[in-house]
Amino acid sequence: MRSEHIISTATNYWASHLGCSTEAIFAQPLHIITHGADLDDYDGIFALFRGAAATISFPPDCVESLRQQLPPQPLTPARFAEAFSGSGFTVIGPAYIGYAENVCPPVHPVHSLTGRDVTAVGALRAVCSEIEWEHGGSLVGEYPSSGVFIGNELVALAGYEVWRGTIAHIAVITHPAFRGRGFGRSAVAHIARVALTAGLVPQYRTLQSNRASIRIAESLGFSQYATSVAVRLNRAA
């Protein structure tokens, strides 16, 4: 992380999201809290790790029973995820969370998308799986988005959502037939620079196991800030 501005912006966002103070969020190896307003409707556990510190937010109705499943300290993202890997849970993560204050320019031609590109976006969505689109797709017009075209075909799309007026949370998806050629990287580069111009801090999140995706982020100028693990409760199980 290269500047205090980036660190403080990220810390302010996550402290607010978790419903704790900026002083407390990473002040100890294990900080247990219950869901605040942002996570009030999330039926699960959310953990955020930075360095040797972690804050874990539990649903208030089952915090005591769930915290008993935590492994002994030192607690790591991998050990936390493993502790909740049973049939009663769905684990998402560990996930890399990175931020950038400067981003390398795109290598491929990219342009900002408008309403005229809705058909091309729909065609890209049609060739991707539902889960791929859920994690990486963007709706043109709702927030800024950038695209790489080969002829008239949209082969990579990146967009962002604005979180609390400060964070530009980036999503990216590439056409299955055009992956591994840098088109997604160029789309991310373009949209991240759009976010910076708008005075926002671009955020890149991907699974920690996706080393290729992390290499793309870091090659563009993103640095890791924290690691997250989300655990959805499968109460029926």
Report pLDDT digits (tens) over 156-167: 999 999 999 999
Distance between CA 162 and CA 157 in Å, rounded? 17
Global pTM exceeds 0.85: yes
Q: Residue 218 phi/psi, 5° resolution? A: -70, -30
Report pLDDT digits (tens) over 3-44: 888 999 999 999 999 999 999 999 999 999 999 999 999 999
Q: Which CATH architecture has domain 111-221?
A: 3-Layer(aba) Sandwich (3.40)
Tokens at residue 226, please? 């924290």
**209 pLDDT above the threshold of 80:** yes
What integer pLDDT is reported at residue 197 of this predicted model? 96
What integer pLDDT is reported at residue 3 of this predicted model? 86
Residue 174, CA atoms < 13 Å, CB-side half-sphere: 15
Q: Which residue has the tokens 């684990």?
A: 91
Average pLDDT in the chain: 92
Report pLDDT digits (tens) over 53-102: 999 999 998 888 888 888 888 899 999 999 998 878 899 999 999 999 99
User: Higher model confidence: residue 207 or residue 141?
Assistant: 207
Contact present, 54 and 20 (Cβ < 8 Å): no
CA angle 213, 131, 83 (to 5 degrees): 75
Domain with CATH 3.40.630.30 in the chain: 111-221
Q: Which residue has the tokens 């290729």?
A: 212
Instruction: Name the least confident of 64-68, 119-123, 187-191.
Output: 64-68
Mean pLDDT of the region 141-155: 93
Contact present, 194 and 146 (Cβ < 8 Å): yes
- For residues 100, 101, 102, 103, the Cα torsion angle rounded to the nearest 10 degrees is 30
With H, G, I as helix, E, B as strand and everything else as coil, classify residue 136.
helix
Contact present, 233 and 91 (Cβ < 8 Å): no
Cα–Cα distances in Å, from 121 out to 17, 108, 160, 171? 31, 18, 15, 14
Contact present, 113 and 145 (Cβ < 8 Å): yes
Tokens at residue 205, please? 């999140």
